[in-house]
Structure 1
Amino acid sequence: MSAINPEASIPAGEWTHSQEEDHDDILVYRPATSFPFPPTRGGRDSLRVSDDGAITALSPGPDDRPRPTGLRAGLDPTSEGVIVIEVNDHILKIRQP
């Protein structure tokens, strides 16, 4: 797989980590509101993408609700070494070093 244009926009909304679909060094995220995630004991990390493209990382809090853990500059190779592999309305695949 090759990286897509780093300026490709990620649809706004909340993207939840679908760790069951991860492979090799690719992390898979799905829309939080429309994907039927199977139950998990450890909770799921998420990314919240605002309309202006800002990305906030979320992790499960003590009551399992997502809590902000930090602001990401963007998912592209120049910001934090993250490469967007695939993105559309149904899936977000990224690679982190």
Structure 2
Amino acid sequence: MTMLPASTEKKLGLVIDLDTCVGCQACATSCKEWNAQGYSAPLEDEDPRGKDPHGPWLNRIHGYEVLDDEREDSRIVHFPRSCLHCETPACVTVC
């Protein structure tokens, strides 16, 4: 079983390429699995969010229409509102 690394002074960050995000919410689902059932828990292929998806974690990925005036068209940009990775996150208890 994979173990969490020992705690260090190094802090990590997360960078998301908005050009590749398709709004699938796999990152939000993975985060919920990590905090609910242990880290690196495999997700189900069918119905990964469960039979009754609910809770604040479902609204983590927002889609916005971006207009391009030069080309006179638009595209949808998905913007993940990621966790702030608090040391002691209060949201985990309600997620």
Normalised by the size of structure 1, how large is the TM-score?
A: 0.28
Q: Which entry has the higher C-alpha Rg, 1 or 2?
A: 2
More strand by share: 1
